[in-house]
Amino acid sequence: MNSHRKTAVVIPSIRQIVPERIASIPDDADIFVVNDSEEVIEPCRARMMVFSLEQQREIMGPDFDLIPRGTGACRNFGFYYVWKHTDREVVITIDDDVVCPDDFLSQYDALGSIRGWPNISVDSGWFNTIEFAGVQARGGGVLYPRGFPFWLRAPHPYSEDHRTATGRLVCLMGLWSNCLDYDGIDKFLFDDYGTKGAGVSVDAIVTIGHSRRRTMFPLCAMNCGVVRELLPAAYQFPMDRRITLQYPIWRFDDIWSGYVLQSLLHRRANGDRAGVGLPIVAHLKDGDLKREILGEHFGHLMSPFFYALIDRGVAEVEPGPYADMTRELFTRLCRGAEKALR
């Protein structure tokens, strides 16, 4: 069995971690739990560190407010801790309500590997991970994952380009069975989106997009891993902010950060690749439907403007190390915002 002493698993939580859900994670892997509540969470296994809010304040000092609170984006503290205080080479983040399969970390061993990968790109520019997983509506229609642009939901078939693409896998989003990752409004309006994803049938890792055809996919942080150098680009966006009277924005922390990550990866254009597929975790429960719909509403409205803004910023970034590219991107965006407000 491979040693996973260079692997860190980050879990954001507000409750006790259920040991059976993570029992398949080898004992030599570090697990960092980011406690986003005032409740006490106790470690439930060896090599597990639980960071209370007080400990996070002590470690972050005056930068504590850079970590979003009240959403899964608090996992950013775990990313920061790994980057600043460990030498871990692979960082995997999961939610606390998933069950990891028996070979969970072994399937993430692909991260950092250079090889020829099965590769898919589409002419619409966005890849449907639910369709890739083999899950369909009861009548055979197409279902869409959370974050897939509504304006690209087309009744006509799109063109797929299948090839082998050689490169280094730097980001891998594993998939999910049981409760799939849908938009709240879809679950509310359409019975097909209540279908449990027991039929997920993925048996490989597929990389998405290539140099001739950039293709994005909605990146969910429920089950995702990156190589160490990509951590700065994996920063999850602050959420749960009120945009207008009674309307907050929520549930786009990982989707929007995933767009930034993939955009920088394509801009760098050095053969680094993002993929989807294995491992598949069992997602045990859906969230509060009303809260999901409320929190997603303005995110759906703002997404095309956000993506256009990121595209303009990334186009001006000099390709290089991911930390430098991320810093340059957001420095440019902040300066542009300050100029616009004058």
- pTM of structure: 0.93
pLDDT tens-digit map of 99-121: 999 989 999 999 999 999 999 99
Phi, psi of 182 (to 5 degrees): -105, 160
Rounded CA separation 218/212 (Å): 20
Give per-residue pLDDT as tens, 39-79.
999 999 999 999 999 999 999 999 998 888 888 899 999 99
Side-chain half-sphere of 19: how many Cα atoms within 13 Å?
A: 8
**Cβ–Cβ < 8 Å for 122, 161:** yes
Q: What is the rounded distance in angstroms from the CA atom of residue 68 to the CA atom of residue 73?
A: 6
Q: Residue with structure tokens 């069950």? A: 99
Residue in the structure block whose two tokens are 């997602």: 283
Altogether, the residues listed in the chain come to a count of: 342
Q: How confident is the model at residue 277 (pLDDT cuts 50, 70, 90)?
A: very high
CB 291 within 8 A of CB 114: no
Q: What is the pLDDT of residue 172?
A: 97
